[in-house]
Structure 1
Amino acid sequence: MTDTTPEPAGALRRRGFLRGAALGVGTVGAVTGAGAAAAALTGTAQAATPTPKEPAAPPADFHGVHQAGIVQPAQKCTAFLSYDVTAADRRELTELLRSVTDRARFLTTGGTPAALGITAPPSDSGTLGPQVPGDGLTVTVGVGSSLFDGRFGLADRKPLRLSPMPTFPDDDLDPAWCHGDLSVQVSAAHTDTVLHAVRDIARHTRGGMQVRWRIDGFTSPPRPSGTQRNHLGFKDGISNPEVTDPAVADKLLWVTGGGEPQWAQGGSYQVVRVIRMLVEFWDRVSVTEQERMFGRSKATGAPLDGSGEFDAPKFAQDPTGDVIPLDSHIRMANPRTTQSEGSRILRRGYNYDLGTDSDGNLDMGLIFTCYQQDVVRQFEAVQKRLAGEPLVDYITPFGGGYFFALPGVRDRNDWLGRALLA
């Protein structure tokens, strides 16, 4: 006798879905079945289209007089990490820096991770696949003033101008986001390459250093062309010295004598400033007022007295600031005088996005990084000129630090910090 008791609606839906999936006529199966039927009628194969392979950037040169990641243009993705060194003594510090060098050399060059056997954990996370691509990766390492505090017998070897980053007017520094014994900046063409490197370095330096603070950043594609834009909508980093000219680089970028320790020759002072931008307040300001604060056109990046983003502003022809206000950012940062020419810096800016804060406000900003031969003569001179500029109502520097980017690794027998620790 047939049971005619109705089944619960949920059971019917589940049974119908499973029956449809088995017959190839479920929600997904109907599309697949229809495609197969069309192929059978037309005699053509409906092969799945493979996902195009994402091209990797060519490897960056790891060996050289100077570290990579300084003079190269800012890459699409970056992670900046500050570390507290937990090595117990100078021998362990040496092992730490050799490990960082070995990992950076492999990661930037690319290759096949070592096979450790089927019973051992894999030597690589595998997040980039079985072959690690170089992908243009750069790993730039610096030392902070706290590394020379006496723990490792290096007090008499500290770079002449290296100190903790001071608090400037208009700063709101959070100690948890400041300073550190070591800095490591990892940059590449793709986010997964950066994260893979951060994870790999952490794995091989466990016990030698601990992350103090970290922030990830990115560069935006040119819109519509030229220099990238920051979260305020303005082109960022238009005016940089031509450090590809060795004479300019030796004057403004690299440490070359000047009373600095011999081991530091070829290095560069690195300044990192993590700057929050109050974008929701900024978005309520008129374009005219925004442009007068910067001294540039928002659309083109040109100075207000020019037509192209790389035009030099004509401050001498506008002594009272009728066109470009005297308190505009570009005029205060670089007034184009003989004195200010010697304070130029190599700027590398990255946007960041930390989501929202505890009050639900957007937390976005800039990772400002710059390199120079003398942090006092250059960065601090610029920063002091900028004190009180109108832009400070819309930005809040809250983190960062001063570091000294170590000289480069010259060959496979060399390692980061070798001359410092010799």
Structure 2
Amino acid sequence: MTTQPLDERPREDDASSPGSHGGRVTNRRSFLRGALSAGVAGVATGAAAGAGIAAGLDGGTPAAAAAPAPVVPFHGQHQAGVATEAQRNSTMVSFDVLAANKGELTDLLRTLTDRARFLTAGGTPPDPGISAPPTDSGILGPQVPADRLTVTVGVGASLFDDRYGLASRKPAGLTAMRTFPNDFLDAAQCHGDLSLHLCADNPDTVLHALRDIARHTRGAMQIRWQIDGFQSPPRPSGTPRNLMGFKDGTSNLHGYDTQQMNDLVWLPVGDKSGWAAGGTYQVVRTIRMLVEFWDRVSITEQENMFGRRRDSGAPLDGDKEFDTPNFAADPVGTAIPLTSHIRRANPRTSDTAGSRILRRPYNYNRGIDSVGNVDCGLVFICYQKDLATQFETVQKRLADEPLVDYIQPFGGGYFLVLPGVRDANDYLGRTMLA
């Protein structure tokens, strides 16, 4: 690992320009190689820490010792952070890739893999010696806890331009996110070459991981946009609530249901984009909620817009949160309005069953805007096999629903979550680059 301070290393001439692929850092590739070498040492330390956790569990942990932080396995056919039970905190980050050629892109993805492998396992960062900058920010202390951290990496359609010779590898279903009716998209908050979703049980773990990855990939990719999120605890029970006060995700797919995941989420072997088998399409939509106006709406009108009771989450024709609404018995919308969100999003007919998606949303709060209004809302994230027949089909059904008067989608993008890293010799994007 180079000992040159970060603030003295060569910088991208116009890295502050979103979407720019202009000037290059002359020694970027040597920097990435140095980062990769340092990361390998860190992985060995992390693996040892993981072995220690396993030994403690097998041999019994002393009563006075704190239980070790849980570890979400990094290796597997699929990346973690999709089917994983949602952690409490996250950040969604989009990057412009600045690597000069395919070789540097390969170095970048190897470095990303190396850092994710260490960070998700936890362990002790390597000691750089007394004359070098520390190899870790230290915000989590001398030992990096795993804290159920997941690092989920996706690629956008723009990565498959003429920079890296990947045009022929671009999956047919991967496009730039389109603008839908009622959108208020800000170009600076949309799209990107690469997506990074970091989730953990504590917010400092998420920030630590982002700083670590940004440090080790400096010069090879530049943050385009970022938004932090959190999940509220169930109140009083059941599904967590969004910032409009309603339970969010009652009828969601279940990540632990292998059949549902294979049918609706994971890309299969033999798909027309065979290298992507084990991956999935990711949709990110950042949606501001106009809460000052929403809070002045009567509870009856709010419930009619959602189609559910605010207190219990039950459908308007039911008694409990997980009761299935009976749309067939209510064809004119007497109990649940035909325009309600749950009725449009999931009509529960045989011909709409294939458009279901796996939702993994987070709330966000960014303080106040320039005129003093609360800037909060939803980081909507979902996963599916096919963008057109799943997410976009649902989104078209939601056009002009009553809720659009109280929400403003302003950013996000479409990404392909790369297949998982199979073992210690594998790396993210290997099959894409082959």
2:207 is equivalent to residue 210 of structure 1: no
Q: Report whether the alignment pairs 1:356 with 2:368.
A: yes
| Alpha-carbon distance in 2 for matches of 1:224, 1:387 | 32
Q: SS where residue 369 of structure 1 aligns?
A: strand
For 2:366, give the aligned amino acid.
L
The answer for the alignment partner of 1:334 in structure 2 is 346
**1:94 equivalent in structure 2:** 106
Of 233, 236, 252, 1:221 maps to 233
Structure 1: unaligned runs, 5 residues or longer: 1-51
Query: Is the Cα–Cα contact under 8 Å of residues 107 and 134 in structure 1 kept in the other structure?
Result: yes
Query: CA–CA distance in 2 between the matches of 1:298 and 1:285?
Result: 13
Q: What CA distance in whole angstroms lies between the structure 2 residues aligned with 1:295 and 1:73?
A: 26
Partner residue, 1:39: none
Aligned residue-pair number: 371
Matches within 5 A, 1:45-56: none
Q: List 4+ stretches of structure 1 deviating above 4 A.
A: 52-56
1:131 and 2:150 are equivalent in the alignment: no
CA distance in 1, matches of 2:247, 2:255: 20
1:349-377: CA deviation from partner (whole Å, max 9, x where unpaired): 10000100001100000000000000111
Q: Secondary structure at the match of 1:338?
A: coil
- Tell me if the contact between 2:280 and 2:418 (Cα under 8 Å) persists in the aligned partners: yes
Q: Which residue of 2 aligns with 1:46?
A: none
- Choose the corresponding residue for 2:196, options 158, 163, 184: 184
Q: CA deviation at 1:310?
A: 1.0
Distance 1:92 1:242 in 2: 38
Distance in 1, Cα, partners of 2:393 & 2:154: 22
TM-score (norm 1): 0.86
C-alpha displacement of 1:248: 1.7
- Measure, in 1, the Cα distance between the counterparts of 2:290 and 2:392: 24
2:262 maps to what in 1? 250
Q: Give 1:72 deviation, angstroms.
A: 1.2
- The match for 2:327 is 315
Does 2:177 align with 1:165? yes
Aligned Cα root-mean-square deviation (Å): 1.3
Question: What 5-or-longer segments of structure 2 have no aligned partner?
Answer: 1-63
Q: Do structure 1's residue 297 and structure 2's residue 306 form an aligned pair?
A: no
Residues 303-327 of structure 1: CA deviation (Å, up to 9, x unaligned): 0011111111000010000000000
Give 1:262 shift.
1.5
Per-residue deviation, 1:259: 4.4
1:235 equivalent in structure 2: 247
Of residues 247-256 and 319-328 in structure 1, the stretch that sits farther from structure 2 once superposed is 247-256
SS in 2 for 1:118: coil
Distance 1:209 1:79 in 2: 17
Q: 1 CA distance for matches of 2:233 and 2:80?
A: 22
Distance in 2 between the 1:103 and 1:259 partners? Answer: 30
Question: What displacement does 1:245 show?
Answer: 2.6
- Within the candidate set 360, 385, 394, 1:373 is matched to 385
- Contact preservation (8 Å) 2:77, 2:422: yes
* Distance in 2 between residues matched to 1:240 and 1:186, nearest whole Å: 21
Match of 2:272?
Answer: 260
Indicate if the aligned counterparts of 1:274 and 1:368 stay in contact, CA closer than 8 A: yes
Offset, 1:250: 1.2
- Aligned pair 1:284/2:296, yes or no? yes
- Aligned residue type for 2:165: G
Find out whether 1:415 has 2:427 as its counterpart.
Answer: yes
Quick check: 1:63–1:410 contact (8 Å CA) kept in 2? Answer: yes
Judge conservation of contact 1:63–1:411 (CA < 8 Å) in 2. yes
1:420 maps to amino acid: M
Q: Is the 8 A contact 1:84 1:182 kept in 2?
A: yes
Residue 110 in 1 paired to residue 122 in 2?
yes
SS in 2 for 1:398: strand
Determine the C-alpha separation between the residues in 2 that align with 1:396 and 1:55.
43
TM-fit CA distance, 1:340: 1.0
Q: Secondary structure at the match of 2:226?
A: strand
Q: Give the CA deviation at 1:160.
A: 1.8
SS in 2 for 1:272: strand
Aligned twin of 1:30: none
**One-letter identity of the residue aligned with 1:116:** P
CA distance, structure 2, for counterparts of residue 196 and residue 334 of structure 1: 38
1:243 to partner: Cα distance: 3.9
TM-score when scaled to structure 2? 0.84
Summarize the Cα distance change of 1:288–1:57 in structure 2 as closer, same or farther, 3 Å threshold: farther
Which residue does 1:36 correspond to in 2? none
Other-structure match for 1:144: 156
Give the 3-state SS of the residue equivalent to 1:403 in structure 2.
strand
* SS class of match (2:259): helix
Quote the residue 2:284 is aligned against.
Answer: 272
